[in-house]
Amino acid sequence: MAALTSARLPRLNGTARGGLAGLVGAGIGAAAQFGVVVLVTRGAGQETAGIFFAATALCLMAGGILRMDAGNGLVYFIARSRPFGYRCTRGYVRAALVPVATLSLLAGAVAAATAPDPAVRVLAAALPVMTCADIAVAATRGLGAMRPTVLLSGILQPTAQLVLVGAVVLADAESVPLLAAAWALPSLPVLVLSVLWLRGRLPDTPYLPGTAHDFWRYTWPRSLAAAIQAVFQRLDIVVVAVLAGPVEAAVYTAATRFKVVGQLVNQGLTQAVQPRLVRALAEGDLARAGELYQSATGWLVLLTWPIWLGYAVLAPWLLGLFGGGYASGVPVALVLAVTMMLATACGMADVVLTAAGHTGASLANLVAAIAVTVALDVTLVPGCGALGAALGWAGGTLVKNLLPLWLIHRRHGLHPFGVHSRAVLASWRAR
């Protein structure tokens, strides 16, 4: 994070400025992703849009499973090795990438050969590139650099998706395979450029025996948790498409598209705070960890609550941007806004929990959240359609945030609001 210039609020301003680059990238990425949805919903029919959104949701779910959370594992191990000159970092990158790349190639080949849907086959072929690109970019954050994440994942990839999907919509709006290819292709330059960045900065150290064992011993609970998280984030779209049809899936995707705004803001702050949070907890510095947690939560609330309040008020008009037939998503938008405000108030509780080494507890929390979501979806979606899926997602989201919040308070005495929250508010007013 940036060096501090304010004597009164030194660490707070460092956290805020350290997360600024991530937030800029998150904002550009959110705008580009929103633009993709608008292009598809307005340029293609609701059925085509629903099929495309369901196919990309399946791809993102598969990618989240196959990545096995190796990216966050790399951030953890590389950040911890900083005081020792980043020794073994090349070995950790190798330990992370080799199994992920191998499994992704196998899964992609099987899906591409057997999937009946052409769009799914296209996305299956892109799976290895997508998974490896995310891990390579994560490794750059472990080295303390935010610029590759902002430029590659935050700006290049979503902007290229917007341009390419827009070109396909103009040329052939009803071709789902072409839309899928345009959406997946930008992962390739992200992978190439991030690997080139790493090659020039990773210490050329030998691969030590036991590196992979140490890496995966820490990461495997998070691998299961990441798989469940990937399913949790995208399952609702697939469930709506299966139980209520592609038209309802298109409405649900449009109405929940603003969910990515809050997620990306949270992601931008997390990417900036996570390495320092890991170091603080590894050194037993709970005061510093609490300061980082409360500062990040304060900024998260200040930056996202106005968005959710505005979305709740303007939902009828905003959904009109997607074209005719999407006004029925207003109740979904209201459920989304209220749920995201409550979740934001918990801060990055799960990140704190895993940074403290409690990966098993994080996994149990996610299992509980996905169980609640599935139970509510199966019960509500057949009768309520998109609104039923929104209520199911809301129930799972509250479980996912409240359980880690309770655990980190009970085990470490950490909570999202306190003296550093007031410092954030004072800093905000000063600006």
Buried b (16+ CB within 10 A) or exposed e, 37-74: bbbbbebbbbebbbbbbbbbbbbbbbbbbbbbbbbbbb
Residue with tokens 């409690």: 358
What value does the mean pLDDT of the chain take? 84
Instruction: Please tell me which residue, 39 or 230, carries the higher pLDDT value.
Output: 39
Asked whether the beta carbons of 332 and 393 are under 8 A apart, the reply is no
Cα–Cα distances in angstroms (integers) from residue 255 to residues 208, 236, 246, 337, 342, in the given order: 50, 12, 14, 10, 18
Whether pLDDT at 17 is above 60? no
Q: What is the DSSP track for 321-366?
A: TT-TT-GGGHHHHHHHHHHHHHHHHT-SHHHHHHHTT-HHHHHHHH
Cβ atoms within 10 Å, residue 217: 10
Q: What percent of the chain has pLDDT over 70?
A: 87
Per-residue model confidence as pLDDT tens digits over 64-117: 999 999 998 888 888 777 655 556 688 889 999 999 999 999 999 999 999 888
Whether pLDDT at 421 is above 70? no
Ranges 55-69, 94-108, 232-246, 270-284: which has the least confidence: 270-284
For 315, residues 6+ apart whose C-beta sits below 8 A from its C-beta are 255, 329, 330, 333, 334, 337
Helices assigned H by DSSP within 143-210: 147-148, 157-171, 176-184, 187-199
Residue 82 DSSP label: G
Whether pLDDT at 2 is above 70? no
Amino acid, res. 100? V
For 287, residues 6+ apart whose C-beta sits below 8 A from its C-beta are none
pLDDT value, residue 120: 92
> Residue 204 and residue 91: Cα distance in Å, rounded?
9
pLDDT value, residue 134: 95
- Confidence band (pLDDT; 50, 70, 90) for 8? very low
Q: What is the mean pLDDT of residues 214-226?
A: 83
Per-residue model confidence as pLDDT tens digits over 368-399: 998 999 999 999 999 999 999 999 999 999 99
- Confidence band (pLDDT; 50, 70, 90) for 269? confident
Sign of the torsion angle spanned by Cα atoms 359, 364, 365, 369: positive
Residue 84 DSSP label: G
Q: What is the mean pLDDT of residues 246-252?
A: 92
Domain residue limits, the chain: 10-430
pLDDT value, residue 420: 61
Q: What is the DSSP track for 4-28?
A: P--SSSHHHHHHHHHHHHHHHHHHH
Start-to-end CA span in the chain (Å): 19
Whether pLDDT at 146 is above 50? yes
Q: What is the mean pLDDT of residues 33-38?
A: 89
